[in-house]
Amino acid sequence: MPYPYVLLSAAVSLDGYLDDTTPERLLLSSRADFDRVDEVRASVDAILIGAGTIRADNPRLLVNSPERRAAREAAGQPAYPLKVTVSGSGDLDPAANFWHTGGEKVVYTTDKGADRVRALGIAADAVALGPELDWRRLLEHLHDVRGVRRLMVEGGGTVHTQLLRQGLADELQLVLAPLFVGDPAAPRLFGPGGYQGGRLRLVESRRIEDVVLNRYEPTAPGAGPLPTAADRHWLALACALAADCPPSDTAFSVGAVIVAADGTELARGHSREAGDPVVHAEEAALAKLDPADPRLPTATVYSSLEPCARRSSRPAPCARLILDAGVGRVVTAWREPDTFVTEADGTGLLAARGVDVLLLPEYEERAKEPNHHLL
Ligand SMILES: NC(=O)c1ccc[n+]([C@@H]2O[C@H](COP(=O)([O-])OP(=O)(O)OC[C@H]3O[C@@H](n4cnc5c(N)ncnc54)[C@H](OP(=O)(O)O)[C@@H]3O)[C@@H](O)[C@H]2O)c1
Ligand SMILES: [Zn+2]
């Protein structure tokens, strides 16, 4: 089910607000930036806003430049992009500018909302997506039925938040305006609540008069944050520590390092260290720390091989020891092969309990090096 390319566009104050709480719309962008937005609008098949923005701002959502409209028509497109809104309630003002300017309009809504839209005599196509509004179905419908390949989303925060959180946004164009709002009751770009995708990737930063346009590529939620230079350093060390393991034909050679959030090394370990013939690397490292160490919950365990989920040598596998220690993040180089146990899914076990697990396969060869005789 293909979706359109989804481009989120917004302007925020220096303190991160989309608007203030006065009835008039707060102008955040500069003149030149409004013209840039006009150009982006001219480049898309459809523009979407939430019902809240129609109520708050009563926007027209047009391509204002006659030259850009003419260019669209010359390319065989309608002069104006399709205008799209979403409303669960269907409670929309039939007199709003949105319905009476520009080209075609569509309202994505719920079954109940669609009845309301029709009863109000709203001048738009009402598409009911079921008892609840489902963004994937909405995007599918836009793509398959409306032929939309490129969608611009102009807010508000409720809409942006859902598309980012559900991993449906391909790009965020965020303009930072040099003013403060300072009113905690004002609407924000994102939230409340968190974002599972970690850090976004900055693609471009551009000054436009007195505002700055930043273009970001969101990361897919669940994909986790990108590795940092520190992650690479510590994982490389964990792989190097595996070379210190006494050789074995019945167990892997693994290295592990536990690092605090501030970058302090807390402990390191390797398999079969200090004369213990069965101890695992993560187990050896954790054993060197006080279980009540307050740095553990925000620490990272770097391990050349993913923490084991099952083992015959001791009752508790390393994934369990990491969970018991309350460590929230693991970075590893190599998924455990079926050499000694089958379905050794330590990563799955950790992730299912909320641990952030990052696999850096570019270190897999290093992790395998002291284990080639077992593979
Ligand atoms: N600075 C900027 O770039 C910018 C851009 C746009 C907007 N804004 C500001 O943002 C504010 C409005 O933002 P907002 O977050 O309140 O409104 P919004 O995101 O524009 O719209 C929210 C509404 O959309 C509908 N909706 C969204 N997701 C839904 C879902 N999953 N299921 C059912 N309905 C859904 C609901 O409509 P119903 O209530 O009808 O059910 C909901 O109330 C305004 O102050 C505006 O000025 C600023
Ligand atoms: Zn283990």
The CATH number of the domain holding residue 108 is 3.40.430.10
**Ligand 1 pocket check: which of 91, 159, 213 to mutate, most ligand atoms within 8 Å of Cβ?**
159
Is residue 36 a part of any domain in this protein?
Answer: yes
Q: Which residues line ligand 1 (CB under 6 A)?
A: 10-11, 18-19, 25, 28, 49-53, 56-57, 86-89, 91, 133, 154-159, 162, 187
Residues 342 and 289 in one domain: yes
Residues 212 and 233 in one domain: no
The pLDDT tens digits of the residues spanning 16-38 come to: 999 999 999 999 999 999 999 99
**Cα dihedral sign, 143-148-151-157:** negative
Q: Which ligand is nearest to the CA of 284?
A: 2
Return the ligand 1 atom nearest residue 85 CA.
Answer: 24
User: How many whole angstroms separate alpha carbon 340 and alpha carbon 208?
Assistant: 60
What letter does residue 274 receive in the DSSP assignment?
G
Residues 245 and 184 in one domain: no
Residues 40 and 132 in one domain: yes
Whole-structure pTM value: 0.67
Q: Domain boundary at 170, 187, 218, which?
A: 218
Domain that holds residue 245: 229-374
| Domains held by the chain: number | 2
Q: Domain boundary at 187, 218, 249, which?
A: 218
Residues 135 and 36 in one domain: yes
Q: Domain boundary at 161, 187, 218, which?
A: 218
User: How many whole angstroms separate alpha carbon 240 and alpha carbon 63?
Assistant: 59
Strands 82-87 and 105-109: parallel
Is residue 298 a part of any domain in this protein?
Answer: yes
Residues 69 and 188 in one domain: yes
Is residue 223 a part of any domain in this protein?
Answer: no
Residues 312 and 179 in one domain: no
Is residue 24 a part of any domain in this protein?
Answer: yes
CA of 311 to the centre of ligand 1 (A): 51
**Ligand 1 pocket check: which of 15, 24, 86 to mutate, most ligand atoms within 8 Å of Cβ?**
86
Is residue 224 a part of any domain in this protein?
Answer: no
The pLDDT tens digits of the residues spanning 119-130 come to: 999 999 999 999
Return the ligand 1 atom nearest residue 186 CA.
Answer: 45
The answer to whether residues 277 and 251 touch, using CB atoms and an 8 Å cutoff, is no
The pLDDT tens digits of the residues spanning 311-354 come to: 888 889 999 999 999 999 999 999 998 888 877 789 888 887 88
